[in-house]
Amino acid sequence: MTKQRLVMGNWKMHGSLASNQQLLEQLIAGLGSAHSHSDVVVCAPHPYLAQLQQILTNTAIQWGAQNLSEHTQGAFTGEVSPLMLKDFGCQWVLVGHSERRALYGETDADVLAKTVAALDAGLTPVVCVGETESEQAAGQTQAVILQQLQSILKLETALLSRIVVAYEPVWAIGTGKSATPEQAQAVHAYIRGLLARHHVAAVQVLYGGSVNAGNAADLFAMPDIDGALVGGASLKAADFLSIAAA
């Protein structure tokens, strides 16, 4: 495994100018003194991207957004285009997070369109997939993930090789009930197999869902887990730093 580990924070709809500044300064200081094994990215709400650009430029921390429009510009009130994200120095964007799918009705077709828009703009889309608790109980995990990734896997290899996949079982998000390393590994191996069939075995596959300072090392020890997408624990500098160092 020569791939660099990737640890991404998803701040969701949290933060303020003051609290972000404090968190980012602690992260910069912490990463500067420790020898992190990981590439570190934070994904903030859109209004704070300018602040991230100002504070994080020329540091080891990269930044991204949590959503984007599939359009580059036009009469789309309230939307934020991939070119605007680029303008503020984003290199990353989450696409199809389960909260967007469940609360804002994003479909697999929307996720495909947003993934393509991100790639066209030179951003790295982090495509989020994962089953609900009832789907898991019904033994449908692989079928759900195949459905969610199917159209994206049809992208040409040069594009597909530039995505990151985040496996986030919905039942593990914000619940404190992480998948076990073995459960996550089994799904990651399945996703890795799908990617390999499309000749993009090097795509990073992150795990997300109640990752914390206590379980990160065991998750990262699994052969097909290339890093983490971290929600709640990314808002606490000490926790996020120890995940990055795990």
Enzyme catalytic residues: 97, 168
3-state helix, strand, coil in the chain (%, to 5): 45, 15, 35
* Minimum gap (Å) between residue 110 Cβ and ligand PGA: 18
Which of 31, 65, 149, 211 is close enough to bind ligand PGA by CB under 6 A? Answer: 211
Residue 6 to residue 225: CA distance in whole angstroms: 10
Nearest distance from residue 75's CB to ligand PGA, in Å?
31
x/- site string to ligand PGA, residues 131 to 170, per CB under 6 A? -------------------------------------x--
Of 165-194, binders to ligand PGA (CB under 6 A) are 168, 173-174
66 binds ligand PGA (CB under 6 A): no
Q: What are phi and psi of 6, to 5 degrees?
A: -125, 120
Of 65-73, 82-90, 179-187, 230-238, the window that binds ligand PGA (rule: CB under 6 A) is: 230-238
CB-count exposure of residue 42 (10 Å: 0-12, 13-18, 19+): buried
Short-list 160, 180, 167, 177, CA closest to 226 = 167
Asked whether position 10 contacts ligand PGA by CB under 6 A, the answer is yes
| 69-76, long-range: CB < 8 A, 24+ apart | 69/114, 69/117, 70/110, 70/113, 70/114, 70/116, 70/117, 71/117, 72/117, 72/120, 72/121
| In the complex, minimum distance from the CB of residue 8 to ligand PGA, in angstroms, rounded to a whole number | 8
> By CB under 6 A, is residue 208 in contact with ligand PGA?
yes
Interacting stretch for ligand PGA, rule CB under 6 A, among 20-28, 137-145, 193-201, 206-214?
A: 206-214
Instruction: Work out whether 210 is an interface residue with ligand PGA (CB under 6 A).
Output: yes
- Residue 208: phi, psi to the nearest 5? -140, 150
- Least distance to ligand PGA from the beta carbon of 72, Å? 26
- With CB under 6 A as the rule, give the number of residues binding ligand PGA: 13
Please select the residue that binds ligand PGA; options are 15, 30, 64, 232, rule is CB under 6 A.
232
Short-list 171, 81, 64, 180, CA closest to 121: 81
Output 23 or 173, the one with its CB closest to ligand PGA.
Answer: 173
Among 207, 231, 237, 239, binds ligand PGA (CB under 6 A): 231
Q: Is the distance from CB of 92 to CB of 5 less than 8 angstroms?
A: no
Two structure tokens written together for 223: 């052969």
43 binds ligand PGA (CB under 6 A): no
Residue 207: phi and psi, rounded to 5, are: -105, 140
CA 100/CA 57 separation, integer angstroms: 28
Binding site for ligand PGA (CB under 6 A): 10, 168, 173-174, 208-211, 229-233
